[in-house]
Structure 1
Amino acid sequence: MTAESFEGQYVWHPAADDRSLANACLEVRAGRYRSAHEVIAETYGDVELRAHRSLILASEACDSDLAECWIAEDPTPEAALMWARVATLRALHAADKCDDRASALERIARAACVRASAMAPRDPTPWVAQLALARLHTFSERAPNGLLTAPVGPWKLFMHILRIDPFHREAHHRFLSYFFSRHGGSVNAAWDVAGFLAQRAPANSPLRLLPLVALVESHKPSEPLSYRTWEQPQWRSTALAIYQNWFPYVADYRFTPVVDLAYLAHALLMAQCTFEARAVLVAMEPYASCMPWSAFGEPAAQLSRARRICGLPIQGTS
């Protein structure tokens, strides 16, 4: 990862400094899939990058027929994965909007995921796409020992993914989101699951950020004192431990992990750890993500506020 200077404008594109991915996104928007094939095909052996790139490309292709055309013309594992990703996003969007087509789109998505898994058995990404669909249903599978709330959920599917890749980032985030209140879960269950999953990950893993994600999800702006939660010793020490154990490794990342950095910077700032927050904000600039800032107001305004507090230039300045 190579840091770039801040020139007065935030860059919100999820590809960040992955130039190949950014170019492929442009090609997808133009209705061409060859570059998408190339950037997904080169990720064999890097399941995290494969998941990241395929999800971003799918979000670009979701409103077009590119995925359908691609798999019809060139039925490769990459085309099957893109189709599974696109079909899953469409099913989730339809369910969130209470669209009458939601059930049919979910069936299409599940079939696409099965096809993609069959074409690339060692790739956990199609299974992760299926896990994303889990929030559309209620599961009765019991949690393993060690969770105080013993939350039921799609544990079998999650465990299957872990057998392929024990610390798959997106799988953990998808699984955690199943327990969010807005998906029918509860604050206590989400905190319990986040803490359980984070503790089983290595100290230098980005999965250590899961409790911070759950904390943002539980935030209620209507409660004035909720902003003080991050100042509590438990959450302050969590943020500082991540800063000490994970953040030093970010410089070695192939591409900037913008969302993870944003969650860490936000938590440190809220915990009054301005020095550390400043370092994290510098590491992610000029790139920006909507979360976690959008949970507290307009994202650009919240990011500018954070940078201003840390003595950094904001959008429109240099």
Structure 2
Amino acid sequence: MARDGARPAYDPAGHDTDLRAALQEVRTGRWMSMRTLLERTVTWWQWTQRTQVLAAAAAGTDVVRTWLAEEPDSVPAAVMRARVAVERALRARREEHLRTHELWIEAWDLSDAATRTAPKDPVPWVCLLALAQLDRRQLWEEHRAAPPEPMLPPGPWGLLAEAERRDPYNREAHHRMLQFLYAQAASEQLAEAVGYAHWVADTAPAGSALHVLPLHVRVERYRRGGGRSAALDLHWVAEEATREARRAYHSWFEQSLPVEQSPLDLNHLAHALWGALRFEDAARVFDAIGPYYTPVPWTHRTADPGDQAQAVQIFLQARARSRSAPREA
């Protein structure tokens, strides 16, 4: 991609122009473009990503219900109904809404039904895995299954295995598992999440986005530890952090197709490389990002996590510093 100097903006579709067009339709209550887009989606990684982004846009509308009323036997519509229900339940928990439990059970029922409606699809299992974070005391038996490795904690391992059986190394499934571990963690160190992220990255093939997983955990640790302090910049130049950034760059960024690189992963990698003072590598990642900035992780560098303007400014400063490095050499 050309070296884009324009001011970035957040766009959940990123480089996926077809998804962007469908999102615009969904936001106005129309579903035909969503159906057409999903009919043309042939890979599980893109199906997972597109249904997630579409659900976030559709959660505040009745667009999926309208679609199902017109096409009650549509399998993609049934999957999207589960997706939207999960999104609403997770939002309700974040907002401490009184209907959280009701929405959680509704989402579980719809996701469970979707596992039978679309038996080869990993997304219904990803939906069930996403809901596991709401069970913070692990009261549900499916959320306290024995782990595949003795150093890992009990959790929704059966749900993860079902998603992996349908789409090995599914990116969202492992991020949902991380969110479950975050919800269980009492301390800022997130030891179990750290161990899990490294275990996954160690087993992921070249080109897998799971090599970026340790960087996501590091950002969460930074946030919980009271980031946004200049002194904590030392966090990113530590040997382990630098090693994680280099590994993600070489094992994922250099060995994956640009079309498969999510803006969120790219932003985490650019942030880590910049923090580790690996400016030339960071500049290449910023070029791949183009204008598609994501608020996280940059908001964690601001004095106020809600200050989007300051987060954009930090992104621009990091990009400018990284791009200037080759000329300084």
The letter of the residue matching 2:204 is A
Q: Counterpart of 2:176?
A: 174
Q: Distance in 2 between matches of 1:145 and 1:126?
A: 25
**Residue of 230, 235, 240 corresponding to 2:241:** 235
Assess if the C-alpha contact under 8 Å between 2:209 and 2:261 holds in 1: no
Q: Distance in 1 between matches of 2:291 and 2:94?
A: 32
* Change beyond 3 A, Cα 1:12–1:255: farther
The letter of the residue matching 2:165 is R
Q: Counterpart of 1:211?
A: 214
The letter of the residue matching 2:196 is V
**Residue of 299, 302, 310 corresponding to 2:314:** 302
Q: Counterpart of 1:61?
A: 58
Query: By how many angstroms is 1:157 displaced?
Result: 1.1
Q: Counterpart of 2:124?
A: 126
The letter of the residue matching 1:61 is A
Q: Distance in 2 between matches of 1:5 and 1:204?
A: 23
Query: By how many angstroms is 1:225 displaced?
Result: 4.1
Q: Distance in 1 between matches of 2:104 and 2:128?
A: 10
Query: By how many angstroms is 1:145 displaced?
Result: 2.3
The letter of the residue matching 2:169 is F
- Number of aligned residue pairs: give it: 304
- Bigger share in helix: 2
The letter of the residue matching 1:193 is Y
RMSD, aligned α-carbons: 1.8
Q: Is the counterpart of residue 270 in structure 1 residue 268 in structure 2?
A: no
Q: Distance in 2 between matches of 1:61 and 1:4?
A: 33
Q: Distance in 2 between matches of 1:203 and 1:238?
A: 14
The letter of the residue matching 1:234 is E
Q: Counterpart of 1:193?
A: 196
Q: Counterpart of 1:282?
A: 287
Query: By how many angstroms is 1:74 displaced?
Result: 1.1
Assess if the C-alpha contact under 8 Å between 1:9 and 1:286 holds in 2: yes
The letter of the residue matching 1:190 is A
TM-score of the superposed pair, with normalisation by structure 2? 0.87
Q: Distance in 2 between matches of 1:72 and 1:114?
A: 20
Assess if the C-alpha contact under 8 Å between 1:17 and 1:255 holds in 2: no
Q: Counterpart of 1:151?
A: 153
Query: By how many angstroms is 1:153 displaced?
Result: 1.5
Q: Distance in 2 between matches of 1:4 and 1:256?
A: 16
What does the per-residue CA deviation read over 1:88-140, in whole Å, with 9 as the maximum and x for residues that have no partner? 00011111222111111112111221232222111101110111110011233
The letter of the residue matching 1:69 is T
Q: Distance in 2 between matches of 1:77 and 1:117?
A: 11
Assess if the C-alpha contact under 8 Å between 1:17 and 1:256 holds in 2: no
Q: Distance in 2 between matches of 1:140 and 1:85?
A: 23
Q: Distance in 2 between matches of 1:114 and 1:245?
A: 35
* Change beyond 3 A, Cα 1:163–1:77: same
Q: Counterpart of 2:146?
A: 142
Which fold has the larger relative contact order, with Cα–Cα distance below 8 Å and residues 6 or more apart in sequence? 1
Assess if the C-alpha contact under 8 Å between 2:75 and 2:118 holds in 1: yes
Query: By how many angstroms is 1:255 displaced?
Result: 5.3
SS of aligned partner of 1:310: helix
1:28-67 residue pairs with structure 2 within 5 A? 28-44=26-42, 46-67=43-64
The letter of the residue matching 1:218 is R
Assess if the C-alpha contact under 8 Å between 1:216 and 1:292 holds in 2: yes
What does the per-residue CA deviation read over 1:161-203, in whole Å, with 9 as the maximum and x for residues that have no partner? 22222200000111112111xx232511110111111111013
Q: Counterpart of 2:184?
A: 184
1:112-123 residue pairs with structure 2 within 5 A? 112-123=110-121
TM-score of the superposed pair, with normalisation by structure 1? 0.90
Q: Distance in 1 between matches of 2:117 and 2:16?
A: 26
Q: Percent identity?
A: 33
Q: Counterpart of 2:306?
A: none
Q: Counterpart of 1:70?
A: 67
| Displacement over 3 Å in runs of 4+ | 222-226
* Change beyond 3 A, Cα 1:189–1:130: same
Q: Distance in 2 between matches of 1:254 and 1:230?
A: 28
Q: Counterpart of 1:315?
A: none
